[in-house]
C-alpha cells in the first residue's frame, strides 16, 4: 500500500502510527529494490514535497532532503568535501535518483554522506510528531527516531576532507573518514558511526570481518587515516 500524505506533518504522523510497517518513499533506490529494508512494508510517498532545492541564507546552505546526490555533487553552494562524498555513489543512475534524506534515513554503516555531514557539524531540520525540530546529523544517525528530514543545514564556508576505502569505486566501502575544522567522523562497515573532537576515535568503533575486509584491516585503516592526512 502507498500512502499519499498532503503535508510533511501528515507523513510523520503516518510513520509514527505505522512505525513497524511503513517507511518514507523518496528516491526509491533502496525502498523499491528486492531485499531492501522496505520489502514487505507500506510506503509513505514524500516525493511531492517542496524540500527539493539547495539554497543559501546568511552563510548557511540549506540542502533539501529530496535533492539527489547528483544535485549535491553539482552545487557550488555545497562545501567541496561534501560534494566529494556525494560522488562516492559511483553509479550515475543511482546518484541521480538517490536522495540526501534517503541516504541519512537508512543509517547505513557505509553511508556515502554520514561521515562528511557529521564532521561538518551539519544540522537536520525536520518534522516530528511534536512539530518542527533541529538535530545534529551525528546525533540523528546514532538514534532511531522516525522524524521526516526536510533540510540539512551546513556552513557555506566549511572546510574539510573525506576519504573512502573500498575494493572498487562500485563496491561497498570498508571505511569512510571525514575531518572538518577539528571534528572527526568515521563510518566503518558493520559498526555504528563514531565521531568526536579528537582524531583518536578509532577505538570507539566496532570491527567485524565481512566482504569489505577483515576486522583487523578496518581497524588499521581507522587508526591511521587521520594521522596520514596531517
Ligand X SMILES: Cc1cc2nc3c(=O)[nH]c(=O)nc-3n(C[C@H](O)[C@H](O)[C@H](O)COP(=O)(O)OP(=O)(O)OC[C@H]3O[C@@H](n4cnc5c(N)ncnc54)[C@H](O)[C@@H]3O)c2cc1C
Contact set with ligand X (CB under 6 A): 23-31, 33, 37-38, 46, 65, 94, 97-99, 101-103, 105-106, 108, 110-112, 148-149, 172
Toward ligand X, which CB reaches closer, 23 or 202? Answer: 23
**Cα–Cα dist 6/45, whole Å:** 9
Toward ligand X, which CB reaches closer, 146 or 201? Answer: 146
Toward ligand X, which CB reaches closer, 33 or 133? Answer: 33
Beta strands per DSSP E along the chain: 2-3, 22-25, 42-45, 54-57, 60-64, 123-128, 131-136, 148-155, 161-166, 173-180, 183-188, 194-196
Residue 121 CB, nearest approach to ligand X (Å): 19
Strand order in the sheet with 42-45: 2-3, 42-45, 22-25
Backbone torsions φ then ψ of 226, nearest 5 degrees = -80, -35
Residue 3 CB, nearest approach to ligand X (Å): 12
Toward ligand X, which CB reaches closer, 93 or 200? Answer: 93
Residue 194 CB, nearest approach to ligand X (Å): 17
What is the grid cell recorded at 152?
540539512
Indicate the helix (H) or strand (E) that contains 218: helix 215-228
Q: Which residue is nearest to ligand X (CB)?
A: 102
Strand order in the sheet with 161-166: 161-166, 173-180, 183-188, 194-196
Residue 180 CB, nearest approach to ligand X (Å): 19
**Cα–Cα dist 129/117, whole Å:** 25
Residue 229 CB, nearest approach to ligand X (Å): 22
Toward ligand X, which CB reaches closer, 121 or 150? Answer: 150
Residue 99 CB, nearest approach to ligand X (Å): 3
Count of beta carbons in the 10 Å neighbourhood of residue 58: 5
Toward ligand X, which CB reaches closer, 149 or 183? Answer: 149
Amino acid at each position: 500500500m502507498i500512502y499519499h500524505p498532503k503535508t510533511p506533518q501528515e507523513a510523520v504522523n503516518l510513520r509514527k502510527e505505522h512505525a513497524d510497517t511503513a517507511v518514507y518513499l523518496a528516491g526509491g533506490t533502496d525502498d523499491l529494490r528486492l531485499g531492501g529494508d522496505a520489502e514487505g512494508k507500506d510506503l509513505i510517498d514524500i516525493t511531492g514535497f517542496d524540500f527539493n532545492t539547495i539554497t543559501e541564507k546568511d552563510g548557511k546552505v540549506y540542502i533539501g532532503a529530496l535533492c539527489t546526490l547528483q544535485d549535491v555533487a553539482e552545487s557550488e553552494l555545497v562545501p567541496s568535501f561534501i560534494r566529494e562524498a556525494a560522488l562516492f555513489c559511483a553509479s550515475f543512475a543511482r546518484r541521480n535518483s538517490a536522495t540526501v534524506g534517503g541516504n541519512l534515513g537508512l543509517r547505513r554503516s557505509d553511508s556515502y554522506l554520514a561521515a562528511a555531514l557529521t564532521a561538518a557539524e551539519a544540522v537536520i531540520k525536520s518534522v516530528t510528531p511534536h512539530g518542527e525540530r533541529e538535530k545534529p546529523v551525528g546525533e540523528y544517525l546514532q538514534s532511531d527516531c522516525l522524524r521526516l528530514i526536510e533540510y540539512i543545514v551546513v556552513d557555506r564556508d566549511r572546510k574539510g576532507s573525506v576519504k573512502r576505502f573500498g575494493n572498487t569505486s562500485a563496491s561497498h566501502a570498508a571505511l569512510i573518514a571525514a575531518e572538518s575544522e577539528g571534528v572527526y567522523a568515521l563510518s566503518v562497515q558493520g559498526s555504528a558511526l563514531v565521531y568526536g573532537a579528537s582524531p583518536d576515535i578509532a577505538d570507539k568503533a566496532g570491527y567485524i570481518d565481512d566482504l569489505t575486509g577483515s576486522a583487523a584491516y578496518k581497524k588499521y585503516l581507522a587508526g591511521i587515516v587521520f594521522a596520514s592526512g596531517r
